[in-house]
């Protein structure tokens, strides 16, 4: 058992032995041309031996593991108790001897940095940066031992404990190594990152530099000079005014000192030094094989590297088939599901879609490089995506402004136009309801056949059956006829907005004409939950039971079974079951087949049902539909009357009425293909979970939901061979946790740029938050910032502010007065339903859920496309 290892004995594979920081330093010492100050690592074996002296601490650590991540008081008290207990322990003699001996071999008269190095630190999926402690300018063997013990104790700082709880790392699974390294007394120090920290551009090295020790920069004590280097050239520099520095004290420790006024505006580094450091950073990046966050010191003429860790906040780049420049657009921003997806969900969606998709960071992206390179499809693609999401369109224009990044196609027919672009160019359909009826009937018949047939297969045959049925799904739902119906409605809506603005001066006229359109299965779902409230409202005991469920939570069907014990419970259960039979396959993030469906966790719906009982009277569902229908008919009559009064009015009125009929006949169908697809997904999931149960019974899997961390083809192989890699599933779970912390960009390039784009609004009110106007009207009210519909507590007149909405959010729409989302476009779910319900809505408002605070009074202008914050909560 080794209690101490020198850097020369360590490489990146020794994380379990010396922790992440120590392993990276050992690996750094092997990089040619990179100077690393001498040092050694106190191993995790030493930590384990040390902890053996206090077995009672293990019980406290186990108790801490059960604390909720947001219980700050409990974390503060428990972590302090554990840390104090650790720092009172004596270091075992054999451990202390090993540390003192290693220290003596390097030189007892020198000063050292003593730095924590946990086994879950500086990893590719979690940096843990700043969570444990570092001590500088430590002098003498007794001080070295004392600070090693403090580093061990810092495993249980409040910030480190909270970080682990929130990221799913068990306290008892993590061990602490300690780095003891010769102290560098630098003229300057700082950080170099091999990707732009703002844009994520991997072609840029960004260098922060300050005088003295680097802790001044890390702690935010001083402003840094910033240098940006691309391809061997300094492309940008900012020289800051630097008033303070941190320097070592001869007797040990550090102090803050003011910089002489004459030096405050001097550049920290010369051009030659900047370029030399950038070259070293690229060598380190090449050695580790990923973008790096590098801590450096300038000691005389030489740079010393004291740390390098992977940059865990960068969004990964999809793996392409070649090394050419590529452009990717986010599937999640089009599908209103920007969260990370599990591998089974990703692979099933890839099988379902015909687009050329790549995976990165637990999300899917469509490779649009070929379409951008071709003049035939470039304009249509940018305009089409820009219509649905202006920020995405603008981001693509930024890419195209770089003429060298996307070369023109050598053959104009090399880019194939997607089906949606082809459909948009097809002849519009006449307003015939039978077209929609035929499409939905064919889909319903196909679903009935699937429901019948999927029960007859199992084992490898089940996976083959589902794979074949997904191909059938594409033929049934994504036919040219289906796309033609949707594009006819979209084009008619655009025509109405353009012409009526020209002829009558009215903006977004189509919005008022799409209220209560027939056949919108998603808006019908929101009204159907009002009917469930009607069935429950007359039974106080049932209502009281549901309030208990809302307060204490439930994750299964127990509360439904308990309804029979209350007066009116049978009627309530029948209403629940009727709703779930038609809509129970829906859920938040429903394009991911692994997400829990309402039928699997019906308690999710309880807060919304109770809100409907509180906020509405009997018959509200049918009444809302009739009110919307009346408003649409009145708007149609008014518009046609105004048009007939214009020159050439009869022709204008006739053309407009034809477009209104198309919008009202076909707009409702827009939501149906996805609904039918999600019905099929739920049938697939039920069958796959049955197969997973058999795998658990055969001791192949530990948990049925382990199949969520396998791709579809991998699951097929597991079912065939009855064998699975437990390590693979563990790795996939850890990767998924890390992906959840990432924010998916709208547009991503192969050089790592995460592009958002910008709005081109003119003359917005001061302080207004720009977005996309998708449902006309202006409303003021209380903002309710909600991330989970199961936690929604809405009052009439509230404005829903959230990251995105998919069909599962529709039940909330009946209770709100307006909508604001961070993601969305003209034809995405929230916009369609907001128009049908007559709610002013603005979507695509960047960072809305952080810029708008819950309870603030806001104004939503769904005609012009912006949000104003009017007052703070409780003003």
Question: How far apart are alpha carbons 42 and 117 in whole angstroms?
Answer: 9
User: What is the pTM assigned to this prediction?
Assistant: 0.84
Q: For residues 227 and 244, is the Cβ–Cβ distance under 8 A? A: no
Closest CA to 349 of 677, 569, 775: 677
The answer to whether 332 and 339 are in contact (CB under 8 A) is yes
3-state SS record for 567-605: CCHHHHHHHHHHHHHHHCCCCCCCCCCCCCCCCCCHHHH
Answer yes or no: are the C-beta atoms of 453 and 620 closer than 8 Å.
no
In angstroms, how far is CA 16 from the centroid of its own chain?
A: 30
What pLDDT band is residue 714 in, cutting at 50, 70 and 90? Answer: very high
Please tell me the distance from the alpha carbon of residue 27 to that of residue 37, in angstroms, as a whole number.
Answer: 13
CA distance 737 to 342: 10
> With contact defined as beta carbons under 8 Å apart, do 178 and 114 qualify?
yes
Give the lowest-confidence range in 124-128, 188-192, 459-463: 124-128
- Rounded to an integer, what distance in angstroms lies between the CA atom of residue 205 and that of residue 422? 42
Q: Among all residues, which ones are annotated catalytic?
A: 829
Q: What is the pLDDT of residue 680?
A: 97
Q: Which helix (H) or strand (E) is 801 found in, with range? A: strand 799-802
Tally Cβ neighbours within 10 Å of residue 116: 28
Contact 789, 871 (CB under 8 A): no
Q: Which of 52-56, 397-401, 496-500, 755-759 has the lowest mean pLDDT?
A: 52-56
**Four-point Cα dihedral 565, 566, 570, 572, nearest 10:** -130
CB 259 within 8 A of CB 242: yes
Write the pLDDT tens digit of every residue in 55-103.
767 777 777 777 777 777 888 888 888 888 888 889 999 999 999 999 9
Provide the phi-psi class of 752: left if phi over 0, else alpha when psi is between -120 and 50, else beta.
left
- Contact status, residue 189 vs residue 298, Cβ threshold 8 Å: yes
pLDDT at 861 exceeding the cut of 80: yes
CA of residue 726 relative to chain centroid, distance: 26
Using CB atoms within 10 A of its CB, is residue 315 exposed (0-12), middle (13-18) or buried (19+)?
middle
pLDDT > 50? residue 12 = yes
Closest C-alpha among 845, 806, 799, 840 to residue 822: 845
Report yes or no: 180 and 25 within 8 Å, Cβ to Cβ: no
| Position 246 confidence tier, pLDDT thresholds 50, 70, 90 | confident
* DSSP SS3 for 20: helix
How far apart, in whole angstroms, are the C-alpha atoms of residue 308 and residue 294?
4
Given a contact cutoff of 8 angstroms between Cβ atoms, the answer to whether 299 and 184 are in contact is yes
Residue 438, C-beta contacts closer than 8 angstroms, at least 6 positions apart = none
């Amino acid at each position: 058992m080794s209690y101490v290892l020198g850097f020369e004995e360590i490489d990146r594979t020794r994380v379990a032995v010396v922790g992440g920081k120590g392993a990276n330093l050992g690996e750094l010492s092997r990089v040619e041309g990179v100077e690393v100050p001498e040092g050694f690592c106190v191993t995790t074996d030493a930590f384990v031996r040390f902890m053996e002296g206090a077995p009672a601490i293990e019980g406290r650590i186990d108790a801490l593991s059960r604390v909720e991540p947001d219980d700050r008081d409990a974390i503060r008290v428990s972590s302090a108790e554990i840390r104090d207990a650790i720092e009172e322990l004596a270091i075992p003699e054999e451990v202390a001897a090993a540390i003192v001996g290693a220290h003596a071999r390097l030189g007892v008269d020198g000063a050292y940095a003593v730095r924590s190095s946990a086994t879950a630190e500086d990893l590719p999926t979690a940096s843990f940066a700043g969570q444990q402690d570092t001590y500088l300018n430590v002098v003498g063997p007794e001080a070295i031992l004392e600070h090693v013990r403090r580093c061990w104790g810092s495993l249980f700082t409040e910030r480190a404990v909270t970080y682990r709880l929130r990221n799913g790392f068990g306290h008892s699974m993590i061990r602490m190594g300690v780095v003891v390294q010769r102290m560098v007394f630098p003229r300057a120090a700082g950080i170099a990152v091999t990707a732009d920290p703002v844009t994520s551009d991997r072609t840029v090295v960004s260098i922060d530099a300050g005088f003295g020790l680097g802790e001044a920069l890390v702690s935010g004590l001083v402003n840094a000079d910033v240098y940006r280097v691309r391809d061997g050239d300094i492309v940008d520099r900012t020289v800051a005014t630097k008033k303070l520095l941190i320097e070592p004290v001869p007797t040990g420790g550090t102090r803050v000192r003011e910089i002489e006024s004459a030096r405050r505006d001097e550049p920290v580094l010369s051009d030659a030094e900047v370029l030399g450091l950038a070259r070293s950073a690229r060598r380190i990046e090449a050695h580790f094989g990923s973008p790096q966050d590098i801590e450096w010191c300038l000691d005389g003429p030489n740079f010393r590297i004291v740390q390098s860790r992977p940059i865990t906040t960068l969004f990964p780049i999809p793996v392409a088939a070649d090394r050419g420049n590529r452009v990717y657009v986010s599937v999640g921003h089009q599908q209103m599901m920007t969260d990370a997806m599990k591998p089974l969900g990703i692979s099933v969606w890839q099988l379902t879609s015909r687009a050329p998709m790549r995976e990165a960071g637990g999300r899917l992206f469509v490779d649009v490089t070929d379409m951008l390179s071709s003049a035939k499809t470039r304009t249509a693609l940018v305009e089409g995506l820009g219509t649905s999401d202006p920020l995405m369109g603008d981001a693509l224009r930024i890419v195209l402004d770089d003429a060298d990044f996307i070369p023109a196609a050598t053959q104009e027919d090399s880019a194939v136009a997607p089906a949606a672009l082809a459909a948009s160019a097809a002849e519009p359909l006449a307003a015939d309801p039978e077209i929609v009826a035929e499409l939905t009937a064919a889909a319903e018949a196909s679903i009935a056949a699937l429901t019948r047939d999927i029960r007859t297969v199992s084992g490898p045959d089940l996976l083959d059956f589902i794979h074949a049925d997904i191909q059938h799904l594409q033929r049934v739902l994504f036919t040219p006829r289906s796309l033609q119906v949707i594009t006819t409605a979209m084009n008619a809506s655009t025509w109405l907005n353009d012409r009526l603005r020209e002829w009558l001066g009215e903006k977004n006229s189509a919005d008022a004409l799409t209220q209560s359109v027939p056949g919108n299965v998603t808006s019908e779902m929101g009204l159907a939950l009002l009917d469930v409230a009607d069935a429950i409202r007359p039974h106080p005991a049932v209502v009281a039971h549901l309030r208990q469920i809302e307060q204490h939570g439930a994750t299964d069907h127990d509360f439904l079974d308990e309804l029979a014990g209350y007066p009116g419970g049978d009627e309530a259960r029948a209403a629940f079951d009727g709703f779930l039979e038609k809509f129970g396959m829906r859920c938040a993030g429903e394009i991911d087949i692994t997400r829990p469906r309402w039928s699997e966790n019906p308690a999710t719906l309880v807060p919304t049902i109770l809100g409907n009982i509180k906020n509405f009277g009997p018959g509200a569902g049918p009444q809302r539909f009739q009110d919307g229908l009346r408003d649409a008919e009145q708007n149609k009559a008014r518009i046609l009357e105004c048009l007939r009064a214009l020159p050439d009015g009869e022709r204008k009125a006739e053309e407009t009425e034809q477009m209104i009929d198309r919008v009202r006949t076909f707009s409702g169908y827009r939501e149906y293909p996805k609904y039918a697809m999600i019905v099929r997904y739920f049938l697939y999931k039920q069958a796959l979970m049955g197969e997973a149960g058999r795998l658990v019974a055969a001791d192949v899997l530990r948990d049925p939901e382990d199949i969520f961390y396998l791709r579809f083809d991998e699951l097929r192989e597991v079912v065939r061979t009855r064998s699975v890699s437990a390590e693979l599933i563990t790795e996939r779970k850890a990767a998924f946790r890390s992906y959840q912390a990432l924010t998916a960009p709208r547009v991503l390039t192969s050089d790592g740029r995460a592009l958002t784009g910008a709005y081109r609004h003119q003359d917005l009110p001061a302080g207004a938050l720009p977005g996309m106007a998708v449902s006309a009207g202006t409303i003021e009210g209380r903002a309710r910032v909600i991330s989970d519909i199961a936690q929604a507590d809405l009052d009439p007149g509230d404005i829903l502010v959230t990251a995105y909405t998919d069909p599962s959010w529709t039940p909330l729409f009946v209770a709100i007065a307006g909508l604001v989302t961070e993601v969305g476009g003209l034809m995405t779910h929230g916009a369609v339903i907001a128009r049908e319900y007559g709610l002013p809505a603005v979507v695509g408002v960047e960072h809305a859920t952080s810029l708008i605070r819950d309870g603030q009074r806001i104004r939503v202008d769904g005609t012009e496309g912006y949000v104003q914050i009017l007052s703070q909560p409780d003003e």
